[in-house]
Structure 1
Amino acid sequence: MSHVVVRSDAGPPPEAVKRLGELGVATVHEAQGRTGLLSHRLRPIYPGARIAGRAVTVSAQPGDNLMIHAAVEQTRPGDVLVVTFTSPTTDGAFGELLATSLRARGVLGLVIEAGCRDVVELTAMRFPVWSRAVSAQGTVKASPGSVNVPIVIAGAYVRPGDAIVADDDGVVVVASQRAAAVATAAAARVAKEEEKRRQLSDGVLGLDLYGLRPLLERLGVRYVDATDDGRTG
């Protein structure tokens, strides 16, 4: 198997990425047909983090962070580093020193299907990480891998240059060529939800707002009245 570091400036329109980040993971996921969501196993190391940027992808060997170091050189401001491994691992492949290096290059954050260490320090410097685990288990720098190649991470397919959106709800990937269209669809969804929120605040029931009463009837759900002793009649 060959291992490569691909140099590439390809990415989605910056304005679309900015808008996706403002709209958030849940809305973006729904707007693109409930696709692109990474597994719930990847969680933010501290609450409140919210990023959106161009994906720089890494395929590495378990217990080894050599290719993360190699990937730093390929990043630019506004990027998100997305790291997967060739087999499951929870070793702490990323910590404060790598975050310092990425921060110096303007990288917004990291999504990694492995462990993260130095969480106290990373939280203090407000460098957001979505990881599979928190682990002090160290790694080596010895095995080859690849940078900026298509990868599968947490059940999602990510290509270099795709848009990555991450917040407290998780992580979602949007194909680069679809970023603008998905941002538009997501914004329309937000506007529609605002009207629903207004109606629900006015006391309209979801049963009526979504037209669910006929569905309950078709499913055979009956309304019955309780008797005075609490039994149903």
Structure 2
Amino acid sequence: MRTVVVTGPPRADARQVDALARHGVATVHEAMGRTGYLGPRLRPVHLGHRVAGTAVTVLSWPGDNLMIHVAVEQCRPGDLLVVATTSPSTDGMFGELFATALQHRGVRGLVIDAGVRDVAELGAMGFPVWSAAVSAQGTVKATPGAVNVPVTIGGQVVRPGDAILADDDGVLCVPRTGLAAAVEAAGARAAKEEATRAAFRAGELGLDRYGLRERLPGMGIEYVPYDERDEP
């Protein structure tokens, strides 16, 4: 691994990032062809947040948060810090003091494939965090890593400047170069979902709206009157 801090990477368009935040992770994930999801390991530390921001990426050694300190300087308003480790870690690498520094710089939240602590304080601050663990275990500041390099979380590559969308359903990465198309596709899917929602409120069944009813016989599914069933 090259121990490097890449400065000034191109970022996704801020207006498109804000437009992305109008949609939930599940909606955008479906609209993108079910790509970009960072996996079920990352869970919100507190429910009720939905944020989108541009990724500042960190690659740290497990149990060592030196490079998070280095990364804070590279953060701008509208960013979202994304931290990965070189091997699995659940140590509490991030807490309230880091969040205080990031809030001052206009950072919208944290995604970390490791642990966090100071959960009550983070909640009181309203600083959104998605993590793989909550742990009081502390860390050291000893080993160099990298900032603003591609990192991999949940089998997905996150590049500096990509758009990150996170809510109660998890975290999604939208490549910077494909953001406009993703926003457009998400808007179309949201409109389709609203039409379906209205149909369900009016009593239509998913069996009919999705054209599933006519497919059931081909799947071997039979409708049998209660008195003709095989069970005693």
TM over 0.5: yes
CA distance in 2, matches of 1:153, 1:81: 13
Structure 2 counterpart of 1:207:
207
For the residue of structure 2 that corresponds to 1:98, the secondary structure is: helix
Structure 1 length-normalised TM? 0.97
CA distance in 1, matches of 2:18, 2:93: 29
Query: Does structure 1 residue 116 correspond to structure 2 residue 116?
Result: yes
Deviations along 1:124-183, one digit per CA (max 9) or x if unpaired, are 001111001100000000001000000101221100000000000100000001111100
- How big is the shift at 1:45? 0.7
Could you say what the CA RMSD is over the residues aligned between the two structures, in angstroms?
Answer: 1.4
Query: Does structure 1 residue 219 correspond to structure 2 residue 219?
Result: yes
Query: Does structure 1 residue 197 correspond to structure 2 residue 197?
Result: yes
For the residue of structure 2 that corresponds to 1:87, the secondary structure is: coil
Structure 2 counterpart of 1:156:
156
Structure 2 length-normalised TM? 0.97
For the residue of structure 1 that corresponds to 2:199, the secondary structure is: helix
CA distance in 2, matches of 1:216, 1:128: 44
- Report which stretch shifted further, 51-60 or 196-205: 196-205
* Contact persistence 2:9–2:148 (CA under 8 A): no
Structure 2 counterpart of 1:82:
82
Counterpart amino acid of residue 155 in structure 2? G
Structure 2 counterpart of 1:36:
36
Structure 2 spans left out of the alignment, 5+ residues? none
For the residue of structure 2 that corresponds to 1:161, the secondary structure is: coil
* Contact persistence 2:72–2:101 (CA under 8 A): yes
Structure 1 spans left out of the alignment, 5+ residues? none
CA distance in 2, matches of 1:126, 1:195: 34
- Identity rate, percent: 60
- How big is the shift at 1:2? 2.1
CA distance in 1, matches of 2:126, 2:97: 13
CA distance in 2, matches of 1:91, 1:181: 37
Structure 2 counterpart of 1:61:
61
- How big is the shift at 1:231? 5.5
For the residue of structure 2 that corresponds to 1:22, the secondary structure is: coil
Structure 1 counterpart of 2:179:
179
CA distance in 2, matches of 1:187, 1:130: 25
* Contact persistence 1:224–1:232 (CA under 8 A): no
Structure 2 counterpart of 1:126:
126
Deviations along 1:67-118, one digit per CA (max 9) or x if unpaired, are 0000000000000000000000100000001111111100000000111000
* Contact persistence 2:99–2:122 (CA under 8 A): yes
Structure 1 counterpart of 2:145:
145
* Contact persistence 1:37–1:171 (CA under 8 A): yes
Aligned residue pairs: how many?
232
Counterpart amino acid of residue 102 in structure 2? L
CA distance in 2, matches of 1:45, 1:187: 28
